[in-house]
Amino acid sequence: MVIRLHGLSSQREPLHLEWHLTVDNNYGPEIPCMAAILLTRKLVRGDTFAPGAQTSEGSLLLHEFEPEFARWGIQTEVIEGVD
């Protein structure tokens, strides 16, 4: 999977990024489950979230997925400056 972003940097300069996600062995369907697993672990550790319904945006950062990605042999890469 490739996600391409085009916008402006914090210095207001043009910025182009690509995020590549590579999954072998048909493990792709495991990816949506990872967020639920990681959020559950946060709750078990005692992390708190605002009460009520809300989006999960900002609840997890990409680096928090790295242990799960490693466990399943999933590779990611961010490439800057692509067109």
Residue 54, pLDDT score: 85
What is the residue whose two structure tokens read 């319904």? 53
- The count of structural domains within the chain is 1
| pTM higher than 0.75 | no
Domain that holds residue 68: 2-47+60-80
Instruction: Quickly list DSSP for 21-79.
Output: EE--TT-GGGHHHHHHHHHHHHHHHT----SSS---TTSS-GGGGHHHHHHHT-EEEEE
Q: Render pLDDT for 30-76 as a digit per residue (tens, 0 to 9).
A: 888 999 999 999 999 999 888 899 887 888 998 999 999 999 999 99
Tokens of 25: 């062995």
Taking a C-beta distance cutoff of 8 angstroms, is the pair 54, 68 a contact? no
Residue 52 lies inside a defined structural domain of this protein: no
Residue 38 lies inside a defined structural domain of this protein: yes
Residue 54 lies inside a defined structural domain of this protein: no
